[in-house]
Chain A
Amino acid sequence: MSFTTFLVDDDPGILKALARLVRTAGYESRCYSSSQEFLRDHDPSIPGCAILDLRMPELDGLELQQRLAAAGVERPIIFLTGDGNIPASVQAMKAGAVDFLTKPLRREVLLSALSRAEERDSKERQMRAERQYFEAKLARLTKREREVLGHVIAGRLNKQIAAALGTGEKTIKVHRGRMMAKVEVKSVAELVRLAERASIEAAVSPSHGRVGP
């Protein structure tokens, strides 16, 4: 699926013009004249970013951003506004927007923001995909095996792990082997990398037995 821009603006003239501009850059576009319309129609699986007008009646851009975050939807957002409002822009960026642009909008500015958005979007998707992949693997682990994983990515020796978990080194070795087989990695380094990508935290101290995102 190609990258799609979701345009949300209550002004029909701007909507049309932006859609046209975005299409000349080779992107797909979908237009919505209100936040509610967008929310009704939104499919998070479609790669793309949202370009939101700040000032809209009923549900404005910032509120829409909050709603999406609250619903756990990850969608890169570019804000567009007619007046340069500093507090709004700060709030938008802090809440994770890709950029905050002012109208009238130059093509280069928009395209540069879009390419950044595209990058971020694909990175995020990738990370999500990897996490899902890893989580699927993790789901197969037993409780013990998960604990061992936490200590392994912390770089501890079997001896230390055994001491930390209060079992024998041999038992640890068995758990470790099974764990590595289930997770399907060849080396510890690969495991660490995977874990990082999946945002799985290492066990902080030898006595800390928790493993999990």
Chain B
Amino acid sequence: MSVTAVESIPRQVADLGRHLQGPLLAAALYYLGAEAAFFVGTLSDRIFAPFWPPNIVLFCALLLSPSRQWWLFVLAAFPAHVFAELSVGMGVAQLLVAFATNCAFALIGAVAAQRLLQGPPWFGTLQKACLYVLITVIVTPMLVAVGGAFVPVMSARSAENYWTFWAQWYLSNAVGSVALGPIALFLFGERHGGLFGERHVSPQIPARVIAECVLLALTLIVVCVVSFESSATAIPNNFLPALIYLPLPFVLWAAIRFGSKGASSAILLVTTVLIWRGLNGPILFLAGSAESNVFAIQTFILGLSIPVLLLGAAIDETRHAEQTVRESEERMAFAAISADVCLWQIDLQTDRLWLTDHGRDMLGLNRKAALTRYDLIGAIHPDDRHSANDVLEAAMGDGKVAECEFRIVRPDDQVRWVRCRARTRDTGALSQVSGTLSDVTERKVAEAEVAVQRQEIAHLTRVSMLSELSGGIAHELTQPLAAILSNAEAARILLGRDPPDITEAAAALDDIIGEDHRAGEVIHRFRGLLKKSETRFEPVDVSALCNSTLQLLHSEMINRRVKIMTDFTAEGPLVAGDQVQLQQVLLNLVLNAMDAVNGMVPSRRILTLSTRIADEDSVEVRIADRGSGLSPADREKLFKPFFTTKEHGLGIGLSLCSSIISLHGGALSLENNAEGGATAAFTLPRQKHLAAT
């Protein structure tokens, strides 16, 4: 405890020192400001200082520091005030009242400003500038002048000119607020971070800009001098207003070019020149007593400053908004480029096309050229133009976001796949379509490869299924061949008889023809499995397909002693599909069901194959077996690739069947059934309109 106490003493002293820095500086400036004002008063009989700096100093000091330290500033300012006022012989009572009103001005102003303006940049928006003017130029000085007017009343020992005094006190504070206040806030409030110790690093100002500032300042000074002086000497009265306006363009230039900083600097400059010339040379405003001269000057300054300050703030606000927008655009552009997305916009009335640079590169268009919507359409692959256009038209129609994918052909003949999202905007006079383009070539290429591979796998599994059924094929062919042989030999004998038995021989030959067709059918059916072609959708009679499948499996059924019962709906339901692939699914599912009942008692070696119309729009096919069913563990993994319960199974069957059915717009399921086995079922969307070929 003792160590830290000892260590903390120098730190506490340092802290105290830091805290006293501000108030002492403020007090010094207070004193200097007061002295400066008095000094101006001594220089001439014609005018005195048109504003009272110490108030502004105190106001700024309080505004820029935390309220808990305000008592320090007031405390420090008091001796400064006392010294300054005593040096001009002000009475104690007036001195105190003056101090009270000065503090009141600073305190009220600071409280209101901190509450309403909240923080730098003090003149960042028009609203803030208006509030500043309201607080420090209108309300507070008016209020404070009520008390402040008593100071000269006490000196004069008469309340006769109370309102004149009030006006003088008011203007003195108000003019200080516009002439000195903003500059002080800029100097101390932003660049050096005020008295809190924050640092705000200002960017490097280019030499060109500094030169411009200096030139402008010099020009302004010269113009002011010329204008104020000339207006007082031999110029006809009707030209006076024009002459007075001479500094205005330059002040406005400062406000527009440099925002509120420029505005407040220009105002201060004009005020200084006015005071300087007022002290020394002939100027317009000097026509009567010092008080009225100063009145005139104060009114002129106030009238000039308030709009210019507000303009400066408005300019600042606009610039800031522009900056924000620019930054936001840069961020978006960066994000878009990172995501390989480009942005485009077409103005529907002029057909002009705006495209980010990235987009121009994507389409292979010139970065500088002016583009129209035809440049965009022209970049699209001729085969895709029609559908792309349809989608864009649809987007323009109902205002929803439209998406489509199409190919573009770059000038170097490279073809890329692009995904486009578009929407319309109808905002009054504007009618635009805007959207994004992103390059999806890699994905498309991968998708195409996957599709090709899926076809390959489907074909391979068909071939392997074929080899599984090859014994059956041989058997199915042997039967008709045997019948043909027997018929042929019988016919031979019949024709060799005396007399030949022509009728019977003819019947035998007819049977041979029939058997040949039968053999042909078998070959045709099995050859269908070997086909490797792209998916083709045509009308398929589901029940006929089931029958055909059962015929393919005829030998297999006998071999394995499995009986298949059928229950087909009478209507011959049609679906749109690829015959070969659907047959593959049926074969797979029936073979699976046969495997499931392998080795069971004959009463359980019965499968049921049924078709029915499920509802208006779909056809359902079910294959039910009475095997041992699916275990819960199996059920989860059923459709996953490479899952199999067979010893020599590849495990592709069910996942492939599932994807084939999905491709057809249907769904495949495998569930346990009431007889203890499992039922495989799939639905396909029904096609009512076309007749089966």
Q: Tell me if B486 counts as interface (CB < 8 A to partner A).
A: yes
Contact B478–A24 (Cβ < 8 Å) = no
Residues of B within 8 A of A138 (CB): none
Q: Are B475 and A105 in contact (CB under 8 A)?
A: no
Q: Does B479 lie within 8 Å of A11, measured CB to CB?
A: yes
**Interface with B: A14-22, A120-128, A187-195, which one?**
A14-22
- Complex formed: what's the CA distance from A156 to B137 in Å? 163
Q: Report whether A24 and B557 are in contact in the complex, using a CB–CB cutoff of 8 Å.
A: no
* Most interface-central of B482, B484, B511, B558 (chain A CB within 10 A): B482
Residue of A nearest to B489 (CB): A107
Is A13 engaged at the interface, CB distance under 8 Å to the other chain? yes
Give chain A nearest CB distance to B437 CB in angstroms.
64
Interface string of B498-514 (1 = CB under 8 A from A): 00000010011001001
Residues of A contacting B557 in the complex (Cβ-Cβ under 8 angstroms): 57
**Inside 8 A of B508's CB, which chain A residues have their CB?**
17, 20
Known: A83-B474, A104-B478. A16 touches B483 (CB 8 A): yes
Contacting residues of chain A (95-136) with chain B, CB-CB under 8 angstroms: 103-107
Q: Which residues between 536 and 566 of chain B lie within 8 Å of chain A, taking CB atoms?
A: 555, 557-559, 561, 563
A103 touches B478 (CB 8 A): yes
CA of A83 to CA of B557 in the docked complex: distance in angstroms? 15
B483 close to A14 (CB less than 8 A):
yes
Partner of B479, one of A25, A57, A103: A103
Q: Is A177 on the interface with B (CB-CB < 8 A)?
A: no
**C-alpha spacing A118/B518, complex, angstroms:** 34
B518 touches A17 (CB 8 A): no
Chain B contributes a number of interface residues (CB within 8 A of A) equal to 30
Distance from B84 Cβ to chain A, minimum over Cβ atoms (Å): 126
Contact B479 A13 (CB under 8 A): yes
Which A residues are CB-close (under 8 A) to B478? Answer: 82-83, 103-104
Smallest beta-carbon distance B479→chain A, Å = 5
Nearest CB in chain A to that of B478: its residue: A82
A55 contacts B by Cβ under 8 Å: yes
Tell me if B559 and A14 are in contact (CB < 8 A).
no
In Å, the complex CA distance between A16 and B511 comes to 9
- Digitize A57-94: 1 where CB-to-B-CB distance is under 8 Å, 0 elsewhere: 11000000000000000000000001100000000000
| A56 contacts chain B at the CB level, 8 A cutoff | yes
Closest-by-CB residue of A relative to B563 is A57
Contact in complex: B563, A20 (CB < 8 Å): no
Distance A13 CA – B494 CA, assembled complex (angstroms):
19
Whether B471 pairs with A20 at a CB distance below 8 angstroms is: no
Q: Are B511 and A82 in contact (CB under 8 A)?
A: no
- CB proximity to A under 8 Å, residues B67-122: none
Are B489 and A13 neighbours in the complex by a CB distance under 8 Å?
Answer: no
Measured CA separation A82–B479 after assembly (Å)? 7
**B647 to A: closest C-beta gap in Å:** 22
Chain A residues touching B, majority SS: loop
- Whether a CB of chain A sits under 8 angstroms from the CB of B451 is no
Query: Are A13's CB and B490's CB within 8 A?
Result: no
B222 within 8 A of A: no
* Most chain A beta-carbon contacts within 10 A, residue among B475, B490, B504, B507: B490
Q: Which residues of B contact A56 (CB under 8 A)?
A: 558
Q: A17-B511, A103-B478 are in contact. Are A57 and B558 (CB under 8 A)?
A: yes
Closest to B474 in A: A83
Q: A20-B504, A57-B557, A82-B479 are in contact. Are A106 and B485 (CB under 8 A)?
A: yes
Judged by a CB distance under 8 angstroms, whether B181 is at the interface is: no
- Bitwise, B317-356 to A at CB < 8 A (1) or not (0) is 0000000000000000000000000000000000000000
Interface residues of B in 557-615 (CB under 8 A from A): 557-559, 561, 563
Across the interface, which residues of B come within 8 angstroms of A17, CB to CB?
Answer: 482-487, 490, 508, 511, 515
The listed residue (B475, B486, B563) touching A21 by CB distance below 8 A is B486
Q: Which single residue of chain B is at the shortest CB-CB distance from A103?
A: B482
Contacts of B507 in A (CB 8 A): 20
Residue B278 is within 8 A (CB to CB) of chain A in the complex: no
Do A20 and B485 form a contact, CB below 8 Å, given A103-B478, A103-B479? no
- Who on chain A is nearest to B501 by CB? A24
Asked, given contacts A16-B511, A82-B475, whether A21 binds B490 with beta carbons under 8 Å apart, the answer is: yes
Write the nearest CB–CB distance from B496 to chain A, whole angstroms.
Answer: 9
CA A56 to CA B559, docked complex, whole Å: 9
The reply to whether A55 and B483 contact each other, CB–CB distance below 8 Å, is no
Residues of B within 8 A of A14 (CB): 479, 482-483, 486
How does the 8 Å CB contact mask read for B9-31 relative to A, with 1 for contact and 0 for none? 00000000000000000000000
Residue of B nearest to A13 (CB): B483
* Residues on B with beta carbons closer than 8 Å to the beta carbon of A20: 486-487, 490, 504, 507-508, 511
Does A21 lie within 8 Å of B514, measured CB to CB? no
A10 and B487 CA atoms in complex are apart in Å by: 17
Expressed in whole angstroms, the minimum distance between the Cβ of A129 and any Cβ of chain B is 34
Contact A13 B481 (CB under 8 A): no
B480 CB–A CB distance under 8 Å: yes
Smallest CB–CB gap between B555 and chain A, Å?
A: 8
Q: Which of A1-47 contact B (CB under 8 A)?
A: 10-11, 13-14, 16-18, 20-21, 23-25
B494 touches A24 (CB 8 A): yes
**Cβ contact of A83, chosen from B475, B504, B514, cutoff 8 A:** B475
CB neighbours of A21 from chain B (8 A): 486-487, 489-490
Instruction: For the complex formed, measure the closest distance between the CB of A27 and the CB atoms of chain B, giving whole angstroms.
Output: 12
Chain A residue numbers with a CB within 8 Å of B559 are: 55
B493 at the interface (CB under 8 A from A): yes
Within 8 A of B (CB), among A155-199: none
Min CB distance B251 to A, Å, is: 111
Q: Which residues of B contact A104 (CB under 8 A)?
A: 478, 481-482, 484-486
How many angstroms from the CA of A21 to the CA of B494 in the assembled complex?
A: 9
Q: How far is the CA of A17 from the CA of B515 in the complex (A)?
A: 10
A33 to chain B, nearest CB (A): 13
Complex: how many Å from CA A16 to CA B485?
12
CB distance from B420 to the nearest CB of A (A): 61
Cross-interface CB contact of B493 among A16, A24, A103, A105, cutoff 8 Å? A24
Q: Kindly identify which residue among B475, B493, B514, B563 contacts A13, using a CB–CB cutoff of 8 Å.
A: B514
| Docked pose: A11 CA to B563 CA in angstroms | 16
Q: Which residues of B contact A13 (CB under 8 A)?
A: 479-480, 483, 511, 514-515, 518
B contact residues around A16 at 8 Å (CB): 483, 487, 511
A66, chain B: closest CB distance, angstroms? 15
Q: Report how far A136 CA is from B504 CA in the complex, Å.
A: 48
Most buried by A among B484, B486, B507, B511: B486
A106 touches B489 (CB 8 A): yes
Residues A83 and B471 in contact in the complex (CB < 8 Å), given A57-B557, A57-B558: yes
| Complex: A97 Cα to B364 Cα, angstroms | 86
Minimal beta-carbon separation of A79 from chain B (angstroms)? 14
The answer on a CB contact under 8 Å between B474 and A105 is: no
Assembly CA distance A96 to B487 (angstroms): 29
Contact partners of A11 in chain B: CB under 8 A: 479, 483
Q: Give the CA-CA distance A13 to B482 in the complex, in Å.
A: 9
Q: What is the CB-to-nearest-CB distance from A24 to chain B, in angstroms, rounded to a whole number?
A: 4
Compute how far the CA of A56 lies from the CA of B555 in the bound complex, rounded to whole angstroms: 10
- Shortest CB-to-CB span from A119 to chain B, Å, is 22
What are 30 sample pairs from A and B whose C-beta atoms fall under 8 A apart? Answer: A10-B558, A11-B483, A13-B479, A13-B480, A13-B483, A14-B482, A14-B483, A16-B483, A16-B487, A17-B482, A17-B487, A17-B490, A20-B486, A21-B486, A24-B489, A24-B493, A55-B475, A57-B557, A57-B558, A58-B563, A82-B478, A83-B471, A103-B479, A104-B482, A104-B484, A105-B485, A106-B485, A106-B489, A107-B489, A107-B490
A sample of 10 more A-B contacts (CB under 8 A), given A21-B490, A24-B490, is: A11-B479, A13-B514, A13-B515, A21-B489, A23-B490, A55-B475, A57-B557, A105-B486, A106-B485, A107-B493
Which are the 9 A-B pairs with shortest beta-carbon distances?
Answer: A103-B482, A17-B486, A104-B482, A17-B483, A82-B478, A13-B483, A24-B493, A107-B489, A104-B485
